[in-house]
Structure 1
Amino acid sequence: MTALLRKSDEGTEEAEPLVDRIAAVARRELTPIALEIDEGTIYPDQALRHLGDIGAWSAHADLRDTINGISVIGETCGSTAFMAWCQNTLVWYILNSDNAALKAKYLSATASGRTLGGTGLSNPMKSFFGIEKLKLKGKRVDGGYVVRGALPWVSNLGPDHLFGTIFEAEETGEKVMFIADCVDENLSLTPCKPFLAMDGTGTYAVQFRDVFIPDDQVLAAPAMPFVKKIRAGFILMQMGMGLGLIRDCVAIMDSVKPSLAHVNRFLPQQPEDFAGLLAKMEAETMMLAATPYETSNDYWRAVVDLRLRAGDAAVAAAHAAMLHCGARGYLKSHRAQRRLREAYFVAIVTPATKQLRKMLADNAREQQGDHAH
């Protein structure tokens, strides 16, 4: 696990785990502004860069470190945990690309947080499972591609940010995954309408008007084998959002015990129930994240199933936290109601609960078909 040396009280050097450094930055920099991030008055780019300075976006040698980092951010702020997932996913794409020129151009800047960005895979992920049509089209030109189309939601963006997404080549139908740069004058960002929660996540609709994508911005062509390689990591890193949120919901329920335990004991779900569920999910996540490149169907099903349960558990834990808090949780200033709104996001962000269920059903049908032959 990644660590930095620090002096102990006795003067000897000891390692401070990366997760502790991330937690310290999150508590110090995000706690005071979590409400404003939620309401959309602050996009916390400064905190994201500081997290990059301490190594939060460069821990992909062991995906367990990355997930733990996202989860301790998620204990404080669900919005920033989502942006942490966006940033880590962007680095994950670049790290896994075979394009040496692309890595030289982008890896150091994104892994250090000097350059921030996100992932525009919501529409492509839905298209692969027959839910939507692919929205970007591209054609081959000298030295690269020209891309046009629009993506309705891409997060953790700004005028100098990057994101990874996929277009379909008009001539061949081949899918190509690439890095888009928001600096391009033919690429425009339009702010989305206000959300229920998490408004400060730099989420925009993105329009491509004949944007030139040079070959050193192509992550993979064809894209599909690459997507298969990165998909488990993509989904497992989302577990950080759910685990951090559930952990804070347990803390919220525990915090009202001194004054409300005498009546809260009649509620059907107790903090101890969620603490047990959380421990089980964390263990499963760490086990699966140890081998993110595994190719077996059983492994892939286990990843999808875990992610499905995390969305359900996040909503259940936040719902229970609201009931345990009672009227005080209903105040706009109380984080219990923010947690409930953030929990719905864990359940609907791509791949959403309904898509995960469809993926499991499609997979079961495919396996039955294979056995039938």
Structure 2
Amino acid sequence: MRERIMGSLALSRVEAVDQPAPSLVDEVARIAREALAPLAAGIDAGSVYPAEVLRQFGKVGAWGSHVPQEGPADLRCAIQSMAAIGEVCGATAFMAWCQTTLVWYAANSTNLRLAKRFGDGFSTGRLLGGTGLSNPMKSFFGIEKLKLKGRKVEGGYIVRGALPWVSNLGPDHYFGTIFEREDEPGLVMFLADCADPAITLTPCKPFLAMDGTGTYGVQFRDAFVPDDLILADPAGPFVNKIRAGFILLQAGMALGVIRDCTNIMDEVAAPLGHVNRYLPQQPENFRDLAAELEAETMALARDPYNADETYWRKVIALRLRAGEVSVAAAHAAMLHCGARGYLKSHRAQRRLREAYFVAIVTPATKQLRKMLADA
């Protein structure tokens, strides 16, 4: 197993990983340890949605570091901040990705009225929300059909349809998604306002993990979407611009899970090292893998608007490896812990369930492999 993963991670070595804005990342890590850690079990079980902690992260700048500054954008600090959150709670790292992706949408929209109205609210955490691009991203690669339809009316569009899963939502939240026009060919990306009475949030059936992520099924019943909430019309060029950032930001979830799985293996080294040394995967193996993933992530995250197809393939391949290494690290942590990791009270089993989520959240492992094959 280790040989397969090591082989798949034939990355060009970087002498040292650039650590952007350490003061912000350190502050995010502090909040994660002090305010988030006590909530992690409740978030995993679904009894807690950590809205106030998400706002704390926003206040110190965790959601706004990747906002483009006069053209260029840099995702490194956002990814490092997300990884610091993920070391404590994978579910909250996922919500961090939802929020930073929502900021990414607004920051890249050519609708200047929308950007001005929502940009600061999203980036500071005053307004929370998510990303409803799971179905559209699958549709772009021939896996699903678009589930939302819209038609032009005076001042906006009327939208109908349903999305099965959208996360980091609540009655006062927003999320970005895409509908297909019924009146003429074309795709439109927009912000959905969960407070709209024509938009209904329905709780999902319990998940294997991460039930505190504010995940709902969303029904649009002839909802009016005003022009002020249109992110991009047409959506195609906009998606091409934001797609690398959408995927690269997910690396923060993976890095956080991998780091803590390595920590778990280290923690049981004293009592169990005499027998764990016979296991084929050791914590130092995953430290090396995480360092390689982080180095390549930081290199790619400096240039998220790169339109070169070679760059795009590197982004897809990196995301694929991140999911695979997450699962392998969590699997190894469970084996290192033995029976104690099998207890519900031990975080090793939570990490295993969170790692599987990294591997199946859109774009999932199978979609990423299809994307590479089609590219």
Tell me if both proteins adopt one fold, taking TM over 0.5 as the criterion: yes
Q: Deviation per CA, 1:293-313: give whole Å up to 9, x if none.
A: 000010000000000001000
CA contact (8 A) 1:247 1:278 kept: yes
2:262 & 2:184 partners in 1: Cα distance? 52
* 1:108 pairs with 2:120: yes
* 1:78 pairs with 2:90: yes
* 1:55 pairs with 2:61: yes
3-state SS of the aligned residue for 2:175?
strand
Q: Deviation per CA, 1:73-120: give whole Å up to 9, x if none.
A: 000000000000000000000000010111111111111100000000
Q: Deviation per CA, 1:308-328: give whole Å up to 9, x if none.
A: 001000000000000000011
3-state SS of the aligned residue for 2:206?
coil
Out of 36, 40, 47, the residue aligned to residue 41 of structure 1 is 47
* Counterpart residue number, 1:150: 162
CA contact (8 A) 2:20 2:76 kept: no
* Counterpart residue number, 2:187: 175
Out of 333, 353, 364, the residue aligned to residue 365 of structure 2 is 353
* Counterpart residue number, 1:341: 353
Amino acid at match of 1:55: G
**What RMSD over aligned residues (CA atoms) do the two structures have, in Å?**
0.9
Out of 275, 286, 291, the residue aligned to residue 298 of structure 2 is 286
3-state SS of the aligned residue for 2:127?
coil
Amino acid at match of 2:327: V
CA contact (8 A) 2:258 2:330 kept: yes
Q: Deviation per CA, 1:209-251: give whole Å up to 9, x if none.
A: 0111111110101101100100000000000000010000000
Amino acid at match of 2:34: R
Amino acid at match of 1:182: C
Amino acid at match of 2:38: P
Q: Deviation per CA, 1:19-72: give whole Å up to 9, x if none.
A: 000000011111111000000000000100111111111111421000001000
* 1:295 pairs with 2:301: no
* Counterpart residue number, 1:165: 177
Q: Which runs of 5+ in 2 are unaligned?
A: 1-18, 68-73
Q: CA deviation at 1:173?
A: 2.2
Q: CA deviation at 1:2?
A: 7.2
CA contact (8 A) 1:2 1:59 kept: no
1:247 & 1:56 partners in 2: Cα distance? 19
Amino acid at match of 1:42: V
Amino acid at match of 1:33: L
CA contact (8 A) 1:79 1:342 kept: yes
1:134 & 1:337 partners in 2: Cα distance? 35
Structure 1 residues 188-207: aligned runs within 5 Å: 188-207=200-219
* Counterpart residue number, 2:320: 308
2:57 & 2:37 partners in 1: Cα distance? 14
2:306 & 2:37 partners in 1: Cα distance? 37
Structure 1 residues 87-98: aligned runs within 5 Å: 87-98=99-110
* Counterpart residue number, 2:14: none
* Counterpart residue number, 1:208: 220
Q: Which runs of 5+ in 1 are unaligned?
A: 4-15, 364-373
2:89 & 2:185 partners in 1: Cα distance? 41
1:2 & 1:265 partners in 2: Cα distance? 35
2:226 & 2:37 partners in 1: Cα distance? 41
Structure of higher RCO (CA pairs closer than 8 Å, 6+ residues apart): 2
1:284 & 1:167 partners in 2: Cα distance? 34
* 1:67 pairs with 2:73: no
Q: CA deviation at 1:171?
A: 1.3
1:160 & 1:268 partners in 2: Cα distance? 49
* Counterpart residue number, 2:265: 253
2:120 & 2:227 partners in 1: Cα distance? 19
3-state SS of the aligned residue for 2:258?
helix
Structure 1 residues 258-269: aligned runs within 5 Å: 258-269=270-281
Out of 244, 259, 273, the residue aligned to residue 232 of structure 1 is 244
Amino acid at match of 2:35: E
Out of 126, 133, 137, the residue aligned to residue 121 of structure 1 is 133
Number of matched pairs: 351
3-state SS of the aligned residue for 2:169?
coil
3-state SS of the aligned residue for 1:76?
coil
3-state SS of the aligned residue for 2:176?
strand
% identical aligned pairs: 68
3-state SS of the aligned residue for 2:345?
coil
1:354 & 1:128 partners in 2: Cα distance? 15
3-state SS of the aligned residue for 1:281?
helix
Amino acid at match of 1:135: K
Amino acid at match of 1:87: Q
3-state SS of the aligned residue for 1:90?
helix
2:56 & 2:318 partners in 1: Cα distance? 31
* Counterpart residue number, 1:27: 33
3-state SS of the aligned residue for 1:17?
helix
Q: CA deviation at 1:330?
A: 0.4
Amino acid at match of 1:199: D
Amino acid at match of 1:56: A
2:157 & 2:117 partners in 1: Cα distance? 18
* 1:243 pairs with 2:249: no
